[in-house]
């Protein structure tokens, strides 16, 4: 058996280990084709387009949350991640206009969390006026115990 001096043996082991790591990690980094996300239930009823003097606004009809908020002076700019709306349309994703509440009653130590993003049930649209762009009763998307 051939004896390799210690410094050379350590260098040889290091080279073997690095090559093993590189050959096993490269296939994991290959680009996998991504399947397009399926639209969530909140997009089933479509959108509402609203115009204000300063902004073009798109509301998701079923949740009354803002899907796009674009200034008229820069229509290519969006204050929301509108390009990710379909991917973020499932339950649990927050949108501009969602509400989260933390409540506790009396001397209770337990806090209860409520969020309109948890269960995307269509809200009840309420009448609007000249000063109100959109209004909704959010109770259908919140738990009954609130």
Confidence grade of residue 32 (pLDDT, cut at 50, 70, 90):
confident
pLDDT at 4: 55
pLDDT mean across residues, the chain: 87
Range of the domain at 63: 41-141
- DSSP code per residue over 125-145: E---BTTBS--EE-GGGS-TT
Region of poorest pLDDT, from 33-37, 62-66, 135-139: 33-37
Asked if residue 11 belongs to a domain, the reply is: no
Strand pairing category for 100-103 and 112-115: antiparallel
- Answer whether residue 18 shows pLDDT above 90: no
Asked if residue 29 belongs to a domain, the reply is: no
Q: How many domains does the chain have?
A: 1
pLDDT tens digits, 62-75 = 999 999 999 999 99
Asked if residue 25 belongs to a domain, the reply is: no
Asked if residue 22 belongs to a domain, the reply is: no
Asked if residue 10 belongs to a domain, the reply is: no
Q: Across 1-146, where does the E strand assignment appear?
A: 47-51, 55-60, 66-71, 100-103, 112-115, 124-125, 136-137
Asked if residue 8 belongs to a domain, the reply is: no
Asked if residue 106 belongs to a domain, the reply is: yes
pLDDT at 14: 75
Mean pLDDT to the nearest integer, 126-137: 92
């Amino acid at each position: 058996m051939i004896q390799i001096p210690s410094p050379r043996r350590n260098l040889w082991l290091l080279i073997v280990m690095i090559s093993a790591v590189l050959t096993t990690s490269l296939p994991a980094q290959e680009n996998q084709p991504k399947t397009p996300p399926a639209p969530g239930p909140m997009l089933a009823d479509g959108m509402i387009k609203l115009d204000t003097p300063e902004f073009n606004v798109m509301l998701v009809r079923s949740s009354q949350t803002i899907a796009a908020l674009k200034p008229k002076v820069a229509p290519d700019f969006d204050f929301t991640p509108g390009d990710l709306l379909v991917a973020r349309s499932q339950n649990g994703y927050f949108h501009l206009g969602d509400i989260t509440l933390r409540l506790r009653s009396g001397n209770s130590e337990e806090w209860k969390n409520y969020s309109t993003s948890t269960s995307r049930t269509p809200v009840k649209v309420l009448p609007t006026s000249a000063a109100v762009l959109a209004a909704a009763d959010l109770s259908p998307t919140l738990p009954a115990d609130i």
